Structure 1
Amino acid sequence: MRAWVAVLVDVVCVLVFVGIGRATHDEALSLGGYLGTAWPFLVALGVGWAVTQAWKRAERIWPTGVVVWVVTVALGMVLRAVSGQGTDPAFVVVATLFLGAVLLGWRGLFVGLRQRR
């Protein structure tokens, strides 16, 4: 898989998470609000990619996907906290589960489909 496709899929996963969360909590549908919520996770996703050098084997669940997921959630929460955004325990759990499902899920689907060929 090409790295640009994999990073695009990861970014879309984070943006979908943010969109669902904002819609669930009746947040305003403003671009500024959306980006304000998304930036900590997008920055953290980028750090996860850098730490794992994901561009080499982005589709791997282990270690690439797991490390990208953990860094995205953990650093995303730290960045939210230092920027004055909430990190309620329930939000941390939901973010961890949702981002784990999508960031690892697409990788699992990709690997499974590739093995079937």
Structure 2
Amino acid sequence: MRRRPWIPALIDVVVIVAFAAIGMSSHEESISAPTLATVAWPFLAGGAIGWLVSLAWRNPAAPLRTGLPVWILAAGGGMILRVATGGGFAVPFLVVTLIVLAVLLIGWRALAALVAWRRSHRVSSRSERPVDAR
């Protein structure tokens, strides 16, 4: 993924937009492109700032080095932008936002790291098998 950092960036965008859409539908709001954009943009902007701060393109799938700052800035920065631009705020919404975006933004990276580790471990264990002398 290092050679194609746009793929993890796209995953982050999809995850954040999905978070906004699920939140809207759970509050029985009608979802249209303009309303979804209005709800999602602060969190997308926060995530973009997280990418810049963490230099995410260097290791975009790293759960802690990249995922942690992207999550903190997408959730926290997004909430600050939301409130600063007249959006609503409630402590339960902040808690849900922090938890859900942590699971999504760090979670997909943790899964990708696990898959990469297992693949490399499987390859290295195959090369360490003893050769049959028959």
TM-score (norm 1): 0.97
Greater relative contact order (CA < 8 Å, ≥ 6 in sequence) = 1
Q: Is 1:20 aligned with 2:22?
A: yes
User: Runs of 5+ in structure 2 lacking a partner?
Assistant: 120-134
TM-score (norm 2): 0.85
User: How many angstroms does 1:14 deviate by?
Assistant: 0.1
Give the ranges of 4+ consecutive aligned residues of structure 1 lying more than 2 Å apart after TM superposition.
none
- Aligned residue in 2 for 1:41: 43
Give the 5 Å matches for 1:81-92.
Answer: 81-92=83-94
Distance 2:66 2:23 in 1: 25
Larger radius of gyration: 2
Report Cα offsets for 1:4-30 as digits up to 9, x if no partner.
Answer: 100001111101100100000011222
Report Cα offsets for 1:69-102 as digits up to 9, x if no partner.
Answer: 0011111011100111112100000000000001
Number of matched residues? 117
User: Runs of 5+ in structure 1 lacking a partner?
Assistant: none
- Aligned residue in 2 for 1:106: 108
